[in-house]
Structure 1
Amino acid sequence: MRGPEVPGGLEPRAGPEVLGQAARLASSGLLLQVVFRLITFGLNAFTLRFLSKEIIGIVNVRLTLLYSTVTFLAREAFRRACLSGMRNRNWNQTFNLLWLTVPLGLFWSLFLGWVWSQILEVPDPNVVPNYGVGVAAFGLSAVVELLGEPFWVLAQTHMLVRLKLLYTTVLVFCYVIHFMKLMNSQELTKKSLPISRMTDLLPHITLNGTFVNWKEAKLTWSFFQQSFLKQILTEGERYVMTFLNVLNFGDQGVYDIVNNLGSLVARLVFQPVEESFYIFFAKVLERGKSVKLQKQEDIAMAAAVLESLLKLVLLIGLTITVFGYSYSQLALDIYGGSMLSTGSGPVLLRCYCLYVLLLAVNGVTECFTFASMSKEEVDRHNFIMLALSFTFLLSSYFLTKWQGSVGFIFANCFNMGIRIAQSIRYIYRYYRESPHRPLAGLLPSPFLIVVFVLSGVVTGISEVFLCCERGWPARLLHIIVGALCLGATLVTVFFTETKLIFFIRTQFLPKYTQKKT
């Protein structure tokens, strides 16, 4: 006999509580991201001295693409659909739906593994040994990670902010151990978890005879179509590299290293914020409903949070763009030596800094958009994503033929700009009938813009006269000039963007705020 089903599950929390927990989730995710990324950053800097560009290209581009494609296609749609706030949710049906990610992931792993091994160009075994073993290992890792999906969704939905974990096998065991502990604690009742024993998480036929919630399943299918298209947009350059062979393995390796270095802040800061506040918007806003038909205090809170988030990522992106231009070559030389700091590396990283700005804004705007869209709006948006996907692939191919690896970044910037425009249009129309204007977060103060321009000019002149062939004394002076300009920029932000500073202090630094009060 199974335990009684819990039809309702999680009741919607009060807006401020959800906001606070989303901020803590983002903060904890940010902290762990920093720790793990710094470790990876150091290991990569070490291994770059000993590995060839060809091996780096195969592992970081082709095999990583296999892993990300399997996990993305198998789980992204399920995550988005099952994180949406449903008041009358049958959690047994939701768990049944989530377990479908495992056979789906196994299918994609076997099919794509065959493509990677038999259809694509196999590298020279003398240059890249054990390619087949690598394909099997990356595919198996993706399937193992999918075993933790029911735990992940349950933890995210109930805002278990202290539950942030490692990858693959450790990920699954950590979830199992954590929820086994919850079964024997008072927190089970406090968190209103819809389970009473671990077996409730396993797939089974519910009392009313239905296996899954078909409304959830249809929403999942809509998100699956969207996820497929979004994956093409997100990993498009790797698909072009892998299937069209526009770059050799060595050039792919250099591009991927620069891509990882350039997107470091995006993965450290933007991704945890997007994931956490997607949950916030999905819980506070009622999907598909007009602004007038929802609680006005929730609408106001969502608008204020969206405005602050837009301002936060915009300023971070502008800082990376302005200072990244003058410090790209120095960063690459320190990170990977002459292999990266000569040739196309510095140009790639400078262009990527601009792309990071667009990436930051797009992440937050789409975070809100996908959390508030109805199923019909998601379906319509899929057609736009389809057109963007084809446009991106074509532009990537032709721009790369014309400009080399820099063409990938130009194509990404073009498509990201279109995606931002689509999301901004949706947000404007969403809040058009209300007094709230969250898009004001995309307008920094004029004085701050002047400071950014001056910082860019000063650091650009510093690079010409102090970096990077003039030895370390000159390089240190160049770094000092950048530090002074960055300090002046941060001080200006503190005094001109007071609303943003208040948001950060109250939501991301609550302990500091309590001490002050």
Structure 2
Amino acid sequence: MRTREALASAAKLTSYSAGLQVLFRLLSFLLNAYTLRYVSKETIGVVNVRLTLLYSTVVFLAREAFRKACLNVDKEQKWAQVINLLWLTVPLGVLWSLLLGWVWLHLVTTPDPAVIPHYEFGVVAFSLSAVVELLSEPLWILAQVHMLVRLKVIAESLAIVVKCVLTVLCVTIVPHWGLNIFSMAQLLYSGCLLTCYILYFMKYIGSQEAQRRSFPLSTVSDILPKYHCHQPIIDLRLAVLTWTFYKQSFLKQVLTEGERYVMTFLNVLNFGDQGVYDIVNNLGSLVARFLFLPIEESFYVFFVKVLERGKDIGHQKQEDVSMAAAVLEMLMKLVMLIGLTIAVFGYSYSHLALNVYGGSMLSSGPGPTLLRYYSVYVLLLAINGVTECFTFAAMSKQEVDRYNILMLALSLTFLGLSYCLTWWQGGVGFILANCLNMGLRIAHSLRYISHYFKHSKRQPLRGLLLPVPLLLAYLLSGTVTALSQASWSKQCLMSQLIHVLVGALCFTITIVTIFFTEPRLVQFVRTYFLSQNKKEL
């Protein structure tokens, strides 16, 4: 029963998170399309690559390890110690913001003030925004562990909407403010997010709903760090686990944002090319991130609740192991089909998508080629997200330590490949380096999963195998849409419309083939994502 409740909660969390990601990516998509008409691609490059990298690095290094460790906490845990541990994210964030802010101001190439003014204020604002967001981290963990899924959706959705509205208004009315517009919008986003979490818990703590769900805090002051007599200030076991993940977080951040670090510190692309690359990156990951990231985050929570970390399957409840294997198999099948669909259709529709989105500025340059390569990268990104999600949930502390060494080697290899391939192929080199890096990470995770289930009747890696009729449908769709692009490459509206109709027909054939060849997957999606009445897997 506990296992199925965890699965239902994970699926529900994924659905809500996916909806949030849809909103976030859609608004970012529309915002970029709008701002391209008012600001230069150089400004877009500085904001979306340089300053956003500063913000994401501070936030990731300050909180990622704490999230990995504390999301595994039971509801019956001594939460005073957990909260004390989580509050360490704030001074850690301040330290990283000061250190990295200095680096961004003094050790990297800064934009020409005549072309892009107010860069210094941008660095300060994005650093401060990261610290403000970290103030809500204990509340975020409480919400995730106790499955308060609507809170995350409402808070982040409202913050995103407010940020986008301010950006659009300022870009339209006072476009000469430049970076100041994006800096103020980023500060407003973090402040709105923190305010939503505080107001929610002020109302929730002590309420009848909280009592019914056995919420561990009885007063609002319990959210603040406290010292309790005759008790350790923090949970030492969690602290050790956090440190283990923390060592890994440096490497994972390099692997996740490696191309932006290379752009920032090695200056292999000018700010204009960085802007084009970032726009293509956002467009290419539009579907991938609003589906794959919520699945990874939500089902990581599911796996850590169902499996006992570091124990082989012979010493765990077989019902839980069987359920975890079945879910992993279906998840791999699901994300692989989504990623394969993006890869197949992305090749033929990259030029059209960029032309509609940004006009000739994007479609006439290297943009279409970048987007085609990125479509293939999305497939690898999909598989890696789910396999690492399970691997990190099942690994023991010693296995995580060993994996950190592998991550170090991957990080160094990735940075070297990015630098070399970018000098050779420009922006495409970044995507090629990402593909090679992602392939190595997938190989490691598949090897771990295969070894983990070697004595089990369940073999979740079968989720990566596709039936022959479905493979033929993808091959047919890719061939027909490629021929359609070559035949209707003119820029007239009728040619583009015919090309879209051909793609729609091929897409329909592919979806129908999936329904007939993958009935278990269809039932899984209907049961745990689309249906309100949870059925048996």
Q: TM-score, normalised by structure 1?
A: 0.95
What one-letter code is carried by the residue in structure 1 that aligns with 2:510? T
Which residue number in structure 2 is paired with residue 383 of structure 1? 405
User: Which of residues 426, 444, 448 in structure 1 aligns to 2:448?
Assistant: 426
Report runs of 4+ in structure 1 exceeding 6 Å deviation: none
CA distance in 2, matches of 1:382, 1:404: 30
Q: Does 1:124 align with 2:146?
A: no
CA distance in 1, matches of 2:76, 2:217: 15
Which residue number in structure 1 is paired with residue 530 of structure 2? 509
| 1:85-120, Cα deviation, whole Å (9 max, x unpaired) | 457632111000000000000110111011101111
User: Which of residues 490, 495, 500 in structure 2 aligns to 1:474?
Assistant: 495
Q: Does 1:219 align with 2:241?
A: yes
Which residue number in structure 2 is paired with residue 313 of structure 1? 335
CA deviation after TM superposition for structure 1 residue 513, in Å: 7.4
What one-letter code is carried by the residue in structure 2 that aligns with 1:46? Y
User: Which of residues 133, 144, 147 in structure 2 aligns to 1:145?
Assistant: 133
Change over 3 Å in CA distance of 1:141–1:476 after alignment to 2: same
On the 8 A contact 2:29/2:282 being kept in 1, the answer is no
CA distance in 2, matches of 1:313, 1:88: 34
| 1:174-206, Cα deviation, whole Å (9 max, x unpaired) | 222222222242221232221111111211112
Q: Tell me how large the CA RMSD over aligned residues is.
A: 1.3
User: Which of residues 462, 468, 485 in structure 2 aligns to 1:446?
Assistant: 468
Which residue number in structure 1 is paired with residue 324 of structure 2? 302
CA distance in 2, matches of 1:212, 1:119: 37
CA distance in 1, matches of 2:85, 2:533: 41
On the 8 A contact 2:70/2:141 being kept in 1, the answer is yes
On the 8 A contact 2:50/2:260 being kept in 1, the answer is yes
CA distance in 1, matches of 2:229, 2:458: 45
Which residue number in structure 1 is paired with residue 160 of structure 2? none
Which residue number in structure 1 is paired with residue 218 of structure 2? 196
User: Which of residues 4, 22, 26 in structure 2 aligns to 1:34?
Assistant: 22
On the 8 A contact 1:505/1:512 being kept in 2, the answer is no
Secondary structure of 1:511's partner? coil
Q: Does 1:392 align with 2:414?
A: yes
What one-letter code is carried by the residue in structure 1 that aligns with 2:441? R
Deviating more after overlay: 165-174 vs 60-69:
165-174
CA distance in 2, matches of 1:34, 1:87: 30
Which residue number in structure 2 is paired with residue 371 of structure 1? 393
What one-letter code is carried by the residue in structure 1 that aligns with 2:502? V
On the 8 A contact 1:85/1:286 being kept in 2, the answer is no
CA deviation after TM superposition for structure 1 residue 61, in Å: 0.4
Change over 3 Å in CA distance of 1:512–1:321 after alignment to 2: farther
Q: Does 1:53 align with 2:75?
A: no
On the 8 A contact 1:30/1:268 being kept in 2, the answer is yes
On the 8 A contact 2:75/2:145 being kept in 1, the answer is no
What one-letter code is carried by the residue in structure 2 that aligns with 1:490? I
Secondary structure of 2:150's partner? coil
CA distance in 2, matches of 1:60, 1:343: 19
Q: Identity over the aligned pairs, expressed in percent?
A: 62
CA deviation after TM superposition for structure 1 residue 131, in Å: 0.4
Which residue number in structure 2 is paired with residue 176 of structure 1? 198
Aligned length: 501
Which residue number in structure 2 is paired with residue 109 of structure 1? 97
Which residue number in structure 1 is paired with residue 179 of structure 2? none
Q: Which runs of 5+ in 2 are unaligned?
A: 157-188
Aligned ranges for residues 223-262 of structure 1 at < 5 Å? 223-262=245-284
Which residue number in structure 1 is paired with residue 66 of structure 2? 78
Q: Does 1:18 align with 2:6?
A: yes
CA distance in 1, matches of 2:66, 2:532: 35
Which residue number in structure 2 is paired with residue 278 of structure 1? 300
Deviating more after overlay: 274-283 vs 188-197:
188-197
Q: Which runs of 5+ in 1 are unaligned?
A: 1-12
CA distance in 1, matches of 2:213, 2:115: 54
Which residue number in structure 2 is paired with residue 43 of structure 1? 31
